[in-house]
Structure formats: C-alpha cells, structure tokens
Amino acid sequence: KILVCTPSNAACDEIARRLKVGIKAADKLVKLPILRYGISDISEDCKDLSLDVLATDNLIDELANESFVLSYRNEELTELAKNLVYFQRKMATIMEDLNKEYEIFIKTGRIDQDSVNFLTNELKLAENRKSAYLKDYIQCLRTIDSNVNLSKIIINSKHKVFEQVSVVLTTLSISTQSALIDYWDNYSTIIIDEAGQASELTTLIPLQHRIKHAVLIGDPNQLPPTIISKVAQDYLYEQSLFKRIQNCRPDLVKMLNVQYRMHPMISQFPRQYFYENKLQDHESMLEKRARPWHNDPNHRFPPFLFLDVKGQERLNRDRGISLINEAEVGAIAQIIRSLCFSYPDIIFAYKLGIVTPYRGQVRKLRSHFIHLFGRTILKYIEINTVDSFQGQEKDIVFFSCVRSSANTRPDHNAHGIGFLADIRRMNVAITRACSSLIVLGDTQTLLSNDSWSSLIQYAREVKCLR
C-alpha cells in the first residue's frame, strides 16, 4: 500500500483526479482503488473517494445484503433494503459516467458541460435519496432488533475501506490522524508531492512512522514554504526538507527532465532561463497542446502572448492592504469574451485559470467576473494567487502582473516590482498553462527587473509582444 501526501488539499485532489482516470502501464490503463482522506475541503468531483462515501457503501453492503435482510422476515425492512441498493447502484453508474466525461476532458481538452451538469444534478438527487433510505433503514432495524450492534458495524465499515484501497491520499498536516495510524504497518511506501513547498517539520509528520521507502517530489526552482515570521526566515525555517537533502546529499536527487504539460512555445523560456536547458519537451507536446484558437486568422491567441498593458497599480484597502490594476482586469475579461465569441463551439468551462501575485487583484477579478457573468462563473474559471495555484494547471492561463508605476526607474531593479521580483514565483506563474499563456503587464515597469526583462525580450523574439 502507498500513502501519498501533499501540503494542500488542492494538490491532493489534483492527484486524485488523475488516479481516477488511471495509470498507463504496459499499454493498458490500470485503475487503483483509492481513498481521498480528509477532514474537509475535498473537491466535489473527488468526494466519491472520501472515507464517508466508501464507508457508507460498505455499510449498505453489510446491512442490505439479501441473507441479512431475509433473516428478519420484515416486509418494510426488505422494501427499504431494495431501494437502498437501487440508489447505491444508481450513484455508482452516474459516477462512472462522470468519470468518463473527465477522462475525455483530460485526453482531449473538450468537455460536454450540459452532460456534466445533468449528471451532477442526478448524482445529488440519488445521494439524497440514498441517505434518506439509509436513515429509515437503520431506524427500522433498531425497531425490530434492539440487540443489533450498529456502532460496531459502522466502525468495521470504515476499517474495511483501508483494507480495500491500494493508495491513500491526504495532506501532510493530518497524515497522523488516528484513522490512519491504525494502518501504518500497511504502508511500506510514502510519496510526498510538492515537497519543495512544505516546511521541514511538516514533511516529518508522516515520516515518523514505520515507513520503509520515502519518495519526495518537488521543484526547488518554485515556491518554498510560506513562512510569515521574519525571524523564522532568518533561521532558514522556509527551507524545505527536499532542499536540505538536495544540498547535503545531491547523489540522492534525480531530475525528471521531460515535461508533459506545456506547449513548446510556453515551455521554451522557463526551460532555458530556470532549468538551463536540462528540461526537455516530450515529443508529443506540440501536437497534443495544439488548439483551434492558435490558428486564429488575426493571430490574436497564440500559445504564448505578452500584452503590454499601460494601466496603473493602486492600493486597495478592502480586507487588508493589497494592490490592484483595473486595466488588466478589464483586458482579461475582454480577451475571454473574444475567445468565447470567436469559438462558440468550444466550451471553455474549467479550462481557464487567472493567476496574480496579489490577493487584492484576486478579489477585484472575482467581483468583476461575478458582475459580468454571475456568481456561478467562479465554478468554471479558477482565479487565485500564484502561491495557491502551485501544483495545478489549466489549459489557458492569464497572468496579471499588476505592477505598473510611472515612478519605477531602471535603477530600482527588483525593489520596484514587489512579489514579482521572486523568480520562483515567476516560474510557478508562467508554467501553469498547458496550451495558452497570456501575460498582462506594464513592460516599462517590468524591464527594471532582469528576469522580467529576459521574458519580455523572449516575447519580442518570438513576435508575441503586443
């Protein structure tokens, strides 16, 4: 059995989605039994892998099996059992159809949103009916048999889940919950993803038990753990265990030198600038990441685009002090409108991501998009900070730089652009896109920084600076 841990729920759910689709091995797709263990904040599309759902299925299998029900010779109990099993099977069928839709999305980038919405609604209705029948069934069972030990049956149904699954996915912080500790002997291997973003102490949480093999996966060129305390930073508390091992035992670190995410036009700059050409594109990336809008007759939507937006940054004091740039907000909305209008046959839901270094800009973007499209738009477009987006990817990503100041001079260098000056944050931001990356920023301001100057120069060279 394998225990997989990540620093965040978002990263955990991303792995769960991919494992649900299956792992390609020896020219066939292998689907492993998975548990997505968490207290809360599990994404809707991953809840079918949660302990509550899997344990409930085991409970129904135990309580509603034919021999158990017939032993009571009670018509009401028999009828409730039939309905309970019916809705359990219906949920399984709907979930299988939803997973097929997600498989198509992963492979082709296309999704039938009407079908997904219909199946999601049907799943909720079936879940409500199943829960109601289970409640009635348990009440009926207690009425006709006061000696039945339901508490023991419920506990056993949860324990059985851990015996059934091959992979347990959870966050580092709760990896020593009592439910998991009881089964530590079963986990010979632990895999920690996004290990470069976890503090040393957090990484040690799952390693304190009887683990035979540990695999840490991370990128030291991307963001380190988020440490607020300046004193802690001075004592290198933001150094990850991954980074320490890399420094102390470089012989134990192996570089995965082929990337399977980005269109070559997107990956070219980070490959050269951050990874010294040691990272290569997989041969399938050019074809796999090609999209219809790349062939736009007016060349509006190439795989990589840097838009020189002459806006103005300003402080926003709503819920804390942060920066916003309304010109970039408006430009992003306009581009998305143009994409949807120009390619009406393509459903862009779930394909779009907007990242920015500033929480104020995140709030401004969200409120603007709610105003334009309604609150449900936030279900279909991910808008978040660069730090929160690490470990995720989208087909199309917009990066709003925000910083734009007439006072910025070349001699200010990194001090004039704040968070943007951190090249690790820059690396994360421009490597989230699979097919299209659109960067919006004020080139005059950004040229004061060497890294951003290099990106702008690259955009000029490939004729993608507008």
Question: Can you tell me the mean pLDDT for 353-368?
Answer: 94
Tokens of 132: 């109601």
First to last CA, the chain: 52
Q: What is the DSSP letter of 18?
A: H
In this predicted model, what pLDDT tens digit does every residue of 140-193 receive, in sequence order?
888 888 888 888 888 889 889 988 999 999 999 998 887 777 766 667 899 999
pLDDT at 429: 94
Residue 70, Cβ neighbours under 10 Å: how many? 12
Question: Can you tell me the mean pLDDT for 203-214?
Answer: 86
- What element of type H or E holds 308? strand 304-308
pLDDT at 410: 45
| Alpha-carbon distances, residue 70 vs 66, 79, 82, 346, 391 (angstroms) | 6, 11, 12, 53, 51
| Residue 52: closest CA among 65, 38, 64 | 38
**SS3 of residue 15 by DSSP:** helix
pLDDT at 414: 42
In this predicted model, what pLDDT tens digit does every residue of 12-32 receive, in sequence order?
988 998 888 788 777 777 888
C-beta separation of 428 from 389 below 8 A: yes
**SS3 of residue 216 by DSSP:** strand
User: For the stretch 316-344, what's the b/e string if a residue is b when 16 or more beta carbons lie within 10 angstroms of its beta carbon?
Assistant: beeeeebbbbebbbebbbebbeebeeeee
Tokens of 241: 């265990």
**What angle, rounded to 10 degrees, do the helices at 241-248 and 200-207 form?**
90
C-beta separation of 384 from 428 below 8 A: no
The fraction of the chain above a pLDDT of 70, given in percent, is 94
Domain 259-462 carries which CATH code?
3.40.50.300
pLDDT at 105: 63
User: How many Å apart are CA 186 and CA 163, to the nearest integer?
Assistant: 9
pLDDT at 106 over 60: no
- What element of type H or E holds 81? helix 75-108
pLDDT at 142: 86
pLDDT at 402 over 90: yes
Question: Can you tell me the mean pLDDT for 395-419?
Answer: 72
Question: Can you tell me the mean pLDDT for 419-434?
Answer: 92
| Residue 172: closest CA among 112, 141, 216 | 216
Instruction: Mean pLDDT check: name the lowest of 18-27, 100-109, 221-230, 417-426.
Output: 100-109
In this predicted model, what pLDDT tens digit does every residue of 274-333 receive, in sequence order?
999 999 999 999 999 999 999 999 999 999 999 999 988 888 777 667 899 999 999 999
Q: What is the DSSP letter of 465?
A: B
pLDDT at 458 over 90: yes
C-beta separation of 390 from 223 below 8 A: yes
pLDDT at 409 over 50: no
Position with higher pLDDT, 208 vs 217: 217
Domain spans in the chain, listed from the N-terminal domain onward? 33-165, 259-462
User: How many Å apart are CA 350 and CA 348, to the nearest integer?
Assistant: 6
Q: What is the DSSP string of 159-204?
A: HHHHHH-SEEEEEGGGTT-HHHHTTGGG--EEEETTGGGS-HHHHH
| Residue 402: closest CA among 296, 335, 281, 315 | 315
385, β-bridge pairs:
356
C-beta separation of 397 from 436 below 8 A: yes
- What element of type H or E holds 323? strand 322-324
Residue 432, Cβ neighbours under 10 Å: how many? 23
